[in-house]
């Protein structure tokens, strides 16, 4: 490794995701392993512009691998979207002798990172962290597995009450642009219908499916709706629509909301975070920049950040087929 980097800054930005703390820990400890200084940057790019920094060592990150959220805190910064904001950030980095950055977050975080790295010739490596799993070039993003388990657990609980009262439940899960949480939790929790942002199958299909379910003897049903689904109706309007068009349904709506973003990271997310954190520091020390460290077919890979941001959405059509077959 041609090591010209002496000090690495690490930040978390955008929506938090379980496993961010484990990733910070891995970055800090990899720095310690390779004798590189590490600086924690609080509140994402906002804290970067304001110089909200703290030197971190291997002991600063003890007992955080199991914690949800991010101890460095996170923010979505409007100012960093301006060149003036990014200049301020660069001044803070030079003032503190920080040579390179590891940015942990989703597509907004990576987009900011690409601009910043290009404008100031600064080495930047990204770690994908968002519960939405909507980043190209990696099979999984940090936090997704934990969020899925949280959602399945919640739907299982709702199923108990749905079945006790013979009710139809509409359950909204997160996913502004991506249906991964909805599709996978829907299959995992045995939902009758799953509505996702990538594909508008029309509300008529849902009515038809509910009619069939009723005729086949189903007494209660669960419909999982991703928050960004494209029917043009919000979840309450969807529920009203079904009430108006189908007789004999006792309907309830449950919006799971930010509970999906919190909680102890799953073991999968902790291990993934550890691999990606080490991979990020090693990429920087190898002289790589503007890459995301992802996981592809069990291997840690380096993917250009531009691909991570602009790549094709990776919604799995096979899952839709499986959901249709198993929900009859």
What CA–CA distances, in Å, run from 317 to 138, 261, 309, 313, 314? 17, 25, 21, 11, 9
Looking at beta carbons only, is 45 or 53 nearer to ligand F6P?
A: 45
3-state secondary structure 86-97: HHHHHHHHHHCC
What CA–CA distances, in Å, run from 307 to 181, 194, 293? 22, 28, 12
Footprint (CB under 6 A) of ligand F6P, residues 261-290: 261
320 marked as part of a ligand binding site:
no
170: which strand partners?
223, 253
Q: Is 131 in the site for ligand F6P (CB under 6 A)?
A: yes
**Angstrom distance (rounded) from CA 155 to CA 51:** 43
Candidates 11, 13, 15, 77; binder of ligand F6P (CB under 6 A) is 15
Relative to beta strand 37-41, strand 53-56 is antiparallel
Residue recorded with tokens 């642009």 = 177
Least distance between ligand F6P and beta carbon 235 (Å): 13
Quote the tokens at residue 215: 């005729």
**Angstrom distance (rounded) from CA 129 to CA 141:** 5
Footprint (CB under 6 A) of ligand F6P, residues 177-216: none
Candidates 92, 130, 138, 221; binder of ligand F6P (CB under 6 A) is 130
* DSSP state letters, 295-315: EETTEEEEEEHHHHHHSPP--
The window from 30-38, 116-124, 127-135, 239-247 that contacts ligand F6P (CB under 6 A) reads 127-135
Active-site annotation holder among 132, 134, 180, 269: 132
Catalytic annotation present for 132: yes
Candidates 37, 132, 145, 198; binder of ligand F6P (CB under 6 A) is 132
DSSP 266: P
SS3 45: helix
Q: Is 174 in the site for ligand F6P (CB under 6 A)?
A: yes
Footprint (CB under 6 A) of ligand F6P, residues 88-107: 106
Question: From residue 49 to residue 88, what is the string marking binding to ligand F6P with x (rule CB under 6 A)?
Answer: ----------------------------------------
Q: Is 40 in the site for ligand F6P (CB under 6 A)?
A: no
Relative to beta strand 168-173, strand 251-255 is parallel
259 marked as part of a ligand binding site:
yes
132 marked as part of a ligand binding site:
yes
Q: Is 175 in the site for ligand F6P (CB under 6 A)?
A: yes
Looking at beta carbons only, is 246 or 253 nearer to ligand F6P?
A: 253
Q: Are 225 and 238 in contact (CB under 8 A)?
A: yes
Q: Is 83 left (phi over 0), alpha (psi -120 to 50) or beta?
A: alpha
Q: Are 196 and 143 in contact (CB under 8 A)?
A: no
263: which strand partners?
none
Question: From residue 225 to residue 254, what is the string marking binding to ligand F6P with x (rule CB under 6 A)?
Answer: --x---------------------------
Q: Is 313 in the site for ligand F6P (CB under 6 A)?
A: no
SS3 220: coil
Least distance between ligand F6P and beta carbon 31 (Å): 27
The window from 44-52, 172-180, 208-216, 282-290 that contacts ligand F6P (CB under 6 A) reads 172-180
Annotated binding site: 15, 25-29, 76-77, 106-109, 130-132, 159, 167, 174-176, 190-192, 218-220, 227, 252, 258-261
Q: What are the residues binding ligand F6P (CB under 6 A)? A: 15, 106, 130-132, 174-176, 227, 261
Instruction: Give catalytic residue positions.
Output: 132
């Amino acid at each position: 490794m041609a090591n010209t980097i002496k000090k690495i800054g690490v930040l978390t930005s955008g929506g938090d995701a379980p496993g961010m703390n484990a990733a910070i820990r891995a970055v800090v400890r990899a720095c310690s392993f390779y004798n590189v200084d590490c600086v924690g940057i609080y509140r994402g790019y906002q804290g970067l512009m304001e110089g909200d920094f703290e030197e971190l060592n291997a002991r600063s990150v003890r007992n955080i691998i199991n914690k949800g959220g991010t101890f460095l805190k996170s923010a979505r910064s409007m100012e960093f979207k301006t060149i003036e904001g990014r200049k301020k950030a660069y001044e803070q980095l030079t003032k503190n002798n920080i040579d390179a950055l590891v940015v942990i977050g989703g597509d907004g975080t990576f987009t900011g990172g690409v601009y910043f790295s290009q404008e100031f010739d600064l080495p930047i490596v990204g770690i994908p962290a968002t519960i939405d799993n909507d980043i190209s070039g990696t099979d999984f993003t940090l936090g997704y597995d934990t969020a899925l388990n949280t959602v399945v657990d919640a739907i299982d609980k709702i199923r108990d009450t749905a079945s006790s009262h013979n009710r139809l439940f509409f359950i909204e899960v997160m996913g502004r642009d991506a249906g991964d949480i909805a599709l996978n939790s829907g299959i995992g929790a045995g939902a009758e219908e799953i509505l996702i942002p990538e594909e508008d199958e029309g509300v008529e299909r849902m009515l038809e499916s509910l009619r069939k379910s009723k005729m086949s003897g189903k007494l209660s049903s669960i419909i999982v709706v991703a928050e960004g689904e494209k029917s043009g109706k919000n979840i309450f309007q969807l529920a009203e629509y079904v009430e108006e068009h189908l007789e004999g349904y006792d309907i309830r709506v449950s919006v799971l909301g930010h509970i999906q973003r919190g909680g102890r990271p799953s073991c999968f997310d902790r291990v993934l975070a550890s691999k990606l954190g080490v991979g990020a520091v090693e990429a920087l020390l190898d002289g790589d920049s503007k890459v995301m460290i992802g996981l592809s077919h069990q291997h840690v890979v380096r993917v250009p950040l531009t691909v991570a941001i602009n790549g094709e959405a990776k919604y799995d059509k096979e899952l839709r087929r499986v959901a249709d077959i198993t929900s009859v």
